[in-house]
Amino acid sequence: MEPFLDVVHQDEQLLVLNKPSGLLSVPGRAEEHKDCLETRAQSIHPTATTIHRLDMDTSGLLVMAMNKDAHRHVGLQFEKRMTRKTYIARVWGHLRDDEGEVDLPLRCDWPNRPKQMVDHELGRSALTKWEVINREEHTTLVKLMPVTGRSHQLRVHMLELGHPIVGDRFYAEGEALSFSERLHLHAQTLELRHPIGGEYNTFTASCPFWDL
């Protein structure tokens, strides 16, 4: 899978990478899942550690810490929802409104894990804001802005709107699934405070399935 490591930004505190779709963020238990973004990064930068994750099928920005202090500083920002993230997604069908939000609690669908499901009694709060970028022939290109960071949040929330993300092997069916061999979900921008100085830094990784 090329490139071996797509570096968006690097300094003594942070390593910001553009993860390709199909690559794990961290290693899995099976031998075939040992190759991952973390392992690749640590082969070049031994002190780099993962702060947050992207689903294997999702591409885009992922930040790693180059030391313990940076990990603590940025990790706290994620925990307190101080970071800002935007994703680009292509969903099946045409969204009626130009913008909106989905506020539906999520939990693991244990018999079908790693799938997630909406559960108003046991689920954890999950909020996603969205804006239409372009309505295409069969699909809609949207910008997704997660306020929370639950597993599969964007995928399930779009499904609940009746517009699954195309190429989603967990939640899409029929034409929505066969439309693309890859999941059309990309982490395009990430904004956070730098561990040194506290200034906001905005990182960007162009979307591979959106021709600007």
Residues 23, 27, 33, 38, CA torsion sign: positive
Q: How many Å apart are CA 95 and CA 89, to the nearest integer? A: 13
Q: What residues have CB less than 8 Å from 119, skipping those under 6 apart?
A: 105, 106, 107
Tokens standing for 78? 């994620």
Given a contact cutoff of 8 angstroms between Cβ atoms, the answer to whether 51 and 78 are in contact is yes
Tokens standing for 41? 């990064």
Tokens standing for 138? 């069969």
* Residue from 20, 25, 45 nearest 35 by CA: 25
Active-site residue list: 55
How many helices and strands (H and E) does the chain possess? 4, 12
